[in-house]
Structure 1
Amino acid sequence: MTRDPTFHMIAGGPRPVAPFSHAVEADGWVILTGQMPTDPAAPDAPLPEGVAAQTVRVMENLRVVLRGVGLDLEHVVQVRAYLTEFERDYAAFNETYQGFFPSDRRPARTTVGVTALALGALVEIDCIARRPEGADGA
């Protein structure tokens, strides 16, 4: 049975930097908007220094959104990452990123070098998660 999409804004989630929903869910697929390295508890605070610290913050923000819809990183099947300093930061990004997933359950991933990101961030990550069979949406 196909259901209309559900548009999620997560209470206590990262403050949007543009007009979007934190996540949109359709037929068990949950598509998360790209997250920035902002602190949901202090959205006007300076961004963390360096790509490793920003990657941690972004992954934590993705986790906040996922948990807001009753999922976690273990449900992520695809990731897209955007780096403003690709050549300089790719190795450090990978080193940090890999710690969020078991080596035998890493999502499919694309990493792209871009010229700029909102708020002057070094990294932004979006993802797609799949709700387990039979689980209801949040």
Structure 2
Amino acid sequence: MSAPIFHLLAGAPAPVAPYSHAVEVDGWVLVTGQLATDPDDDSTPLPEGVEAQTVKTMENLKRVLAGLGLGFEHVVQARVFIAEFERDYAAMNAVYATYFAEDRRPARTCIGVTGLARGALVEIDVVVRRPD
């Protein structure tokens, strides 16, 4: 196994805790969970509602992936954390599904949680395989 590369990317959302945006080793990239923060102005409040937060979260993931020369087509696994599971699961799924080709959706776990950083409604992290 080669040494891991710790990525902190310019233009990606400011970390809300002490972490790297992604860690890469042997072609595998583990992307830290993203929230619906504004990457251009971290003081901006989170958008209202799970649909808007899911869009912003996915766009933030897209920004991190682009900074690594990757895209959603390279995602092999995702984890979704939802603060209001029963209320927001279907709405989150409707938005989430639009980011992946129907025949290339990653493996996924979706978990209801008691709280997320900054009072967010959704957080999503991904595992990516860099193409050969």
TM-score bracket for this pair, using the shorter chain length = over 0.9
Which consecutive segments of 4 or more residues in structure 1 shift more than 3 A?
Answer: none
Corresponding position: 1:105 with 2:104: yes
CA distance in 1, matches of 2:55, 2:42: 16
Q: What does the per-residue CA deviation read over 1:12-47, in whole Å, with 9 as the maximum and x for residues that have no partner?
A: 110000000000000000000000100101111010
Matches within 5 A, 1:52-131: 52-131=51-130
2:9 match: 10
SS at structure 1 position matched to 2:98: helix
Corresponding position: 1:28 with 2:22: no
Figure out how many residues of one structure are paired with residues of the other and give that number: 132
SS at structure 1 position matched to 2:87: helix
Query: Root-mean-square deviation (CA), in Å?
Result: 0.5
5+ residue gaps, structure 2, are: none
Q: What does the per-residue CA deviation read over 1:90-128, in whole Å, with 9 as the maximum and x for residues that have no partner?
A: 000001100000110000000000000000000000000
Query: What is the Cα deviation at residue 3 of structure 1?
Result: 1.6
The TM-score with structure 2 as length reference comes to: 0.99
